[in-house]
């Protein structure tokens, strides 16, 4: 097994790529009672057109298949539901679908191996019938209705639609009533057989385990399945421009919600040096905290004036086909938040970053990275998500010292461009009530 070590946080990751292509990462936590296992596939809502290994023609599937498939994986041929089985074992089990991956997981203190049996069994044995697929459409239809009524989800999705012309990141992960109506068991089996191949998956296990012994436990539970060839993923061309600067929708909210988005240039992230991607991500985190973080001048001013009520969410999301900055929260005046944000960006561009503010913010972000290693859930999810980006999560700890004030100012000029900014607002529906 390959040992990847970080002396700063005194953490070790043991990594092995098996003959069938599955990558297993084991993170030992001696003395810790909590245990965590997550098994993910590099398959999310972005994959709606692809060429199956061994085929020549592209396969096109309806929006929402990855999420639909995640829902169906728990149902077993013997009539049981694996989520119920895991809950009965006293473990906290779940699954989720993102834009670029789907993951199945559980957390526990006891019954780890029984839970491992169940998780590895249901992920490797899909069971789809015409009947159970039709039944699921009703369940997911209700979920779609809930998302349609969710102001937090709509303000995000509207921001995506304001930024992106063609990129499938603008598509709702759950699909629509219309798109899921076209899903059948054949589509599900085709997508499962294509994307749930071990060579497209990674497993992360964190807890008080001996790595070599745990690897043998994983191997014992794997069915005989060969690695398949590379899946050719087909995405539409995406212009660098935004679609529209502002988008507003009225819903039942006590206070307006906002999302400020900044569309970034991808520059083919999959071929870019991974340490450059990590350094850019760190620089953007520093900038977001300098501009809108809890101790920033702008946050203090807006909070004192009653314009915002809490620190906004600050994030940078990226894959090899999209990248964007997001700032989101509640405000009595989202337009003012947006205008003040743009002014602060302009001020930093023109006058530069204060050295002391920069150092303080960089230390705070480093402290946040270190803190994540105290939690088995955080560590496991981070390593899984970063793996699909081609990144070793330890790189964030190693690269942060190399992120200078000058480099961060360069990223500010390149990324925080006004012509790439959008504002999504969910306003109060004054007509109702």
- Residue 98 and residue 44: Cα distance in Å, rounded? 5
DSSP, collapsed to helix, strand or coil, labels residue 324 as: strand
DSSP string, 2-53: EEEEETTTTEEEEEEE-TTS-EEEEEE-TT---EEEEEEES--TT-SEEE-T
Among 316, 319, 335, 318, CA closest to 327: 316
Q: Which two tokens stand for residue 156?
A: 């995000």
Query: E strands along 131-241, which residues?
Result: 201-207, 232-233
> Could you tell me how many helices (H) and strands (E) the chain has, helices first?
15, 15
Residue 34: which region, alpha, beta or left (left: phi > 0; alpha: psi -120 to 50)? Answer: beta
Catalytic residues: 70
Cα dihedral value 375, 27, 279, 98, nearest 10: -70
How many degrees, rounded to 5, is the angle at CA 152 between CA 149 and CA 157? 85
CA 146, 151, 157, 161 torsion-angle sign: positive
Residue 398 CB contacts under 8 Å (≥ 6 apart), including other chains: 6, 8
CA distance 263 to 241: 8
CA distance 25 to 218: 11
Q: For the CA atoms of the chain, what is the radius of gyration?
A: 23
- The H or E element containing residue 259 is strand 257-263
Contact 96, 70 (CB under 8 A): yes
């Amino acid at each position: 097994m390959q040992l990847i070590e970080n002396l700063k946080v005194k953490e070790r990751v043991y990594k092995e790529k098996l003959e069938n292509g599955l990558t297993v990462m084991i993170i030992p936590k001696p003395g810790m009672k909590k245990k965590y296992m997550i098994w993910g596939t590099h398959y999310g809502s972005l994959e709606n057109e692809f060429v199956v290994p061994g085929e020549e023609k592209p396969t096109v599937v309806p929006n929402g298949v990855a999420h639909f498939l995640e829902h169906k994986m728990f149902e077993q041929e013997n009539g049981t539901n694996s989520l119920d089985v895991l809950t009965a074992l006293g473990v906290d089990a779940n699954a989720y679908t993102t834009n670029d991956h789907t993951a199945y997981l559980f957390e526990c203190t006891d019954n780890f191996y029984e839970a491992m049996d169940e998780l590895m069994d249901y992920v490797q044995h899909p069971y789809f019938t015409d009947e159970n697929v039709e039944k699921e459409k009703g369940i997911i239809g209700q979920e779609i209705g809930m998302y349609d009524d969710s102001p937090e989800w709509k303000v995000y999705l509207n921001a995506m639609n304001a930024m992106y012309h063609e990129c499938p990141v603008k598509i709702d992960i759950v699909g629509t009533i219309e798109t899921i109506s076209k899903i059948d068991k054949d589509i599900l089996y085709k997508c499962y057989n294509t994307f749930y191949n071990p060579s497209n998956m990674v497993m992360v296990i964190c807890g008080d385990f001996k790595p070599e012994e745990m690897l043998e436990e994983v191997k014992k539970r794997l069915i005989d399945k060969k690695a398949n060839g590379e899946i050719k993923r087909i995405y539409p061309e995406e212009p660098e421009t935004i679609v529209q600067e502002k988008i507003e929708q009225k819903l039942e909210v006590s206070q307006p919600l906002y999302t400020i988005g900044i569309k970034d240039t991808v520059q083919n992230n999959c071929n870019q040096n991974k340490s450059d991607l990590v350094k850019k991500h760190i620089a953007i985190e520093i900038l977001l905290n300098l501009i809108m973080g809890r101790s920033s001048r702008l946050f203090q001013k807006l909070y004192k004036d009653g314009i915002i009520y809490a620190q906004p969410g600050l994030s940078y999301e990226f894959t090899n086909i999209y990248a964007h900055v997001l700032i989101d929260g509640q405000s009595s005046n989202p337009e003012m938040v947006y205008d003040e944000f743009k002014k602060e960006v302009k001020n930093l561009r023109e006058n530069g970053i204060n050295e002391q503010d920069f150092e303080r913010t960089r230390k705070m972000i480093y402290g946040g990275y270190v803190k994540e290693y105290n939690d088995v859930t955080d560590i496991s999810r981070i390593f899984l998500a970063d793996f699909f980006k081609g990144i070793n999560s330890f790189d964030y700890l190693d690269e942060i010292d190399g992120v200078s004030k000058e480099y961060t100012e360069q990223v500010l000029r390149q990324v925080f461009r006004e012509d790439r900014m959008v504002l999504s607002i969910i306003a109060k529906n004054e007509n109702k009530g």
